[in-house]
Amino acid sequence: MPAPTECPPFRLGESRFDQGSFYGRLRHFLDVIDPRTLFVSEKRLNECMKLLDQFRNGTLPPSVTNVQLWEAQKIKQAIIHPDTGEKIPMPFRMSGFVPFGTPVVVGLLLPNQTFASTIFWQWLNQSHNACVNYCNRNASKPTPMSKLFQGYLGAVSSAVTIAVGLNLLIKRAEHFSPATRILVQRFIPFPAVASANVCNVLLMRHTELSEGICVLDDKGNVVGTSKLAARHALIETSLTRVVLPMPVLLLPPLIMATLERLPLLQKRPRLGLPVHSMVCLCAFGLALPVAISLFPQNSQIHVSELEPEIAAATECKILTYNKGL
């Protein structure tokens, strides 16, 4: 039986782990991207949903433990969209992000890319991201398809433009040796993906700058709507989107540059692609949840940095807002 600290009393709709600490957020996101939920049967899913309904209605059998309830909620949240109640397609679930996204990362980081392959992998990466974002969107406030398409088009355009432009510059750099040119080219996906992420955030959420976002007091009550908090949120989210792909797109090129000097890979170059794929999978599966966990979703701001009417509406000196990810 797990210790009480390991299995707290069940809370419907809340995280099992403390979101105020890095370790708590790490454990939470490891649960979110757990690929084992991809193999949950329809029967098991229905059992989990029945358990949660019984808890909600107060008809839960006394033999059901907190562990079973937390596991049931984890499975339901991994498969069922919270707003629409529909099943999320397997490739676009958060639990499918690593297994279905790894081949794309491998393609992005392949050496000796042509212009055509660079465009294809950047397009495929942004298309996969767009599908994941759409299938896991907040559907309580419908977003026009034109706005979603605008964000997608902006992300693809910026990613392809930067990737192709940098490739062209490197190929024209005469002072680079062939080995150096290949090494530098491997790092091109990071600035391309990072800039596309920032572009997507700005295009999808620019209306927040004119409409503002909700700020909350220490009891979780809405104090008001702030445009200044929205500006902070967009800056923080943009920085987060730059940092998140760092370990996934920067670690594999560094590791492969070292491994390729080993006699084994020099004698057997055909092993390069399988080893490269394993390195990408490990970096994606291990580094991504660590990177996501660095940033709490809720940020704090002093009332002196907000509009005067917000400061006048509360006695709290520190307010919070959801910056998103």
- Tens digit of pLDDT for each residue in 189-225? 999 999 998 888 888 788 888 888 889 888 888 899 9
Average pLDDT rounded to a whole number, residues 51-73: 94
The pLDDT value given to residue 321: 86
pLDDT at 284: 87
Question: Is-above-0.85 flag for pTM?
Answer: no
* Contact yes or no for 229/209 (Cβ under 8 A): no
The pLDDT of residue 138 is 67
pLDDT band at 325, cuts 50/70/90? Answer: low
Phi, psi (rounded to 5 degrees) for 10: -65, 135
Q: Which pair of tokens denotes residue 165? A: 């432009």
- Distance, CA of 212 to CA of 226 (rounded, Å): 5
CB atoms near residue 136 (< 10 Å): 15
Main-chain dihedrals φ then ψ at residue 66, nearest 5 degrees: -60, -35
Weakest-pLDDT range from 69-83, 96-110, 141-155 = 141-155
Per-residue pLDDT at 18 exceeds 80: yes
For residue 156, give the amino acid letter.
V
Residue 141 has pLDDT above 70, yes or no: no
- pLDDT more than 70, % of the chain: 96
